[in-house]
Amino acid sequence: MNRSIINKALRPFGTTIFTEINAIAKTYNAVNLSQGAPDFDGPDYIKAKAAECIMRGPNQYIASEGIVELRRAIAHKMKRFYDVDVDTEKEITVTSGATEGLYATMMGILEPGDEVILLEPFYDTYPPVAALANANVRYVTLRGPQFELPEKELAAAFSPKTRAIVINNPQNPCGKVFTREELAYIGFLCEKYDAFAIGDEVYEHLVFDGKNHVTLMSIPELRERAFVISSTAKTFSMTGWKIGYVLASPELTKAVRMSHQFITFCGQSALQEAMAFAIDLPDTFYTELLDTYNRKRMFLFEGLKEAGLNVYLPEGAYYVMADIRSLGFEEDSTFCRMLPEKAGVAAIPASYFWKDRTMGKEYVRFCFCKTDETLKEGILRLKRFFE
Ligand SMILES: Cc1ncc(COP(=O)(O)O)c(C=O)c1O
């Protein structure tokens, strides 16, 4: 066959760094602190609910936008945590994880030649999805260690061609939590240029140190311009269930549903029912989740510091960024490809979250969504190796 098989838009991306590092980790039986999936499951009573729903049935296709019980629970949650009113019928679309939510949204609104602004470091799904929609990406860099929003550069990136900006809040990989002022400024620019804001808020319940998550839905300038995407994966430690959703005003929701119906048509009935039950859990579930993750955050942060790495305390999500120059290393990829074999630990080279990979090459991302035993063993091995 003379023609290339892979779609031209996808060719630059190759296999993800997560797949590659996971394979190396497996080869050396390393403690895997790379991919953001817990090595423990969410509560058994949520699983029992799903099992009960499967046994009771029906197990057939459901409404494309998701079962009403789950949409109701999501609307209730938005009121309960953020005092935002969301219409169960017209403003919520359940998707196969946030990943499909992002895809359905971008495919629903982008046309060839449209510009999408991405803040880097970015979650790795955004550029290929924009490429599949034939949109052009403009990158605006958040610089460590504080990763503040560079307002002037952001304003310069907006133009009449801008169709959307993607904001990951709290942010993976750097743990940044956007302030209301920063989001309001983004809202101001979106209004000025008649653009949409796509919020990826999958870590919304992991915001530390008494700070509050600010959803794009609560920014007045963005209420009618935002697509807020979230997921049950991180909050309920069931990443394999792939239950996410998109919140948007009725007109915007039409665009999401239009593409969603041709991507997966609908999600998984029993798992959606179990997640409706989970989202409605009392506040104690959410506070305990935050307490547990805060303990893990501090443990990994202190441990990496004691191992000799220069680390930054994240404000949100479940990752810690470490600067490897403090240990005499220069380049994250070489470091992360060596680490599983030499130290028995796996982490992600953070430059993969930048377009210009020279930008993040001093950073390595470790995740703390792991059992205490895994984290202890990981830190022990790192200390032993760096000594
Ligand atoms: C920022 C961000 N968005 C989206 C996802 C994917 O979410 P889901 O598993 O619900 O598709 C992840 C998973 O790591 C993530 O970190």
pLDDT tens per residue, range 328-344: 999 999 999 999 999 99
Q: Is 100 within 8 Å of 260 (Cβ atoms)?
A: yes
Q: Indicate the residue among 228, 258, 279 that finishes a domain.
A: 279
Domain around 114: 44-279
Please name every residue paired with 345 in a beta bridge, in sequence order, or none if there are none. 31
What is the per-residue pLDDT for 154? 98
33 with 56, same domain: the answer is: no
What is the per-residue pLDDT for 367? 98
Probe target for ligand 1 pocket from 122, 231, 242, 272, with the most ligand atoms within 8 Å of CB? 231
For the chain, the domain total comes to 2
> Is the pLDDT score of 277 beyond 80?
yes
Residue owning tokens 């050396």: 28
Banded model confidence at residue 3, pLDDT cuts 50, 70, 90: confident
With a 6 Å cutoff on the Cβ, whether 36 touches ligand 1 is yes
> Is the pLDDT score of 2 beyond 90?
no
323 with 185, same domain: the answer is: no
- The answer to the question of residue 12 being in a domain is no
What mean pLDDT is predicted for residues 295-299? 98
- The answer to the question of residue 84 being in a domain is yes
Q: Nearest C-alpha to atom 10 of ligand 1 is from which residue?
A: 97
With a 6 Å cutoff on the Cβ, whether 369 touches ligand 1 is no
What is the per-residue pLDDT for 14? 83
With a 6 Å cutoff on the Cβ, whether 98 touches ligand 1 is yes
- The answer to the question of residue 96 being in a domain is yes
Atom of ligand 1 nearest to the CA of 102: 4
236 with 95, same domain: the answer is: yes
301 with 257, same domain: the answer is: no
48 with 122, same domain: the answer is: yes
With a 6 Å cutoff on the Cβ, whether 34 touches ligand 1 is no
The mean of the pLDDT values for the chain is: 96
What mean pLDDT is predicted for residues 138-150? 91
What is the per-residue pLDDT for 233? 98
DSSP string, 291-358: HHHHHHHHHHHHHHHHTT-EEE--SBSSEEEEEGGGGT---HHHHHHHHHHHTSEE-EEGGGGSSSTT
- The answer to the question of residue 101 being in a domain is yes
What mean pLDDT is predicted for residues 124-135? 96
275 with 357, same domain: the answer is: no
Q: How far apart are CA 371 and CA 38, in angstroms?
A: 8
What is the per-residue pLDDT for 357? 85
- The answer to the question of residue 5 being in a domain is no
- The answer to the question of residue 114 being in a domain is yes
| H or E segment to which residue 13 belongs | none
What is the per-residue pLDDT for 139? 97
Probe target for ligand 1 pocket from 172, 241, 319, with the most ligand atoms within 8 Å of CB? 172
What is the per-residue pLDDT for 144? 80
CATH code, 115: 3.40.640.10
Banded model confidence at residue 237, pLDDT cuts 50, 70, 90: very high
Higher pLDDT, 61 or 146: 61
pTM comes to: 0.97
23 with 131, same domain: the answer is: no
- The answer to the question of residue 241 being in a domain is yes
CATH code, 381: 3.90.1150.10
Q: Indicate the residue among 236, 251, 279 that finishes a domain.
A: 279
264 with 149, same domain: the answer is: yes
The candidate with the shortest Cα–Cα distance to 162, out of 120, 210, 114, 130, is: 114
245 with 328, same domain: the answer is: no
What is the per-residue pLDDT for 303? 98
With a 6 Å cutoff on the Cβ, whether 172 touches ligand 1 is yes
> Is the pLDDT score of 1 beyond 80?
no
227 with 333, same domain: the answer is: no
Q: Indicate the residue among 279, 305, 329 that finishes a domain.
A: 279
Banded model confidence at residue 387, pLDDT cuts 50, 70, 90: confident
- The answer to the question of residue 131 being in a domain is yes
Query: Which runs of E-coded beta strand occur in the chain?
Result: 31-32, 92-95, 115-120, 136-141, 162-168, 196-200, 226-231, 244-247, 310-312, 319-323, 345-346, 348-349, 363-367
110 with 234, same domain: the answer is: yes
Q: Could you give the percent of the chain with pLDDT greater than 70? A: 100
293 with 229, same domain: the answer is: no
What is the per-residue pLDDT for 67? 98
What mean pLDDT is predicted for residues 361-378? 97
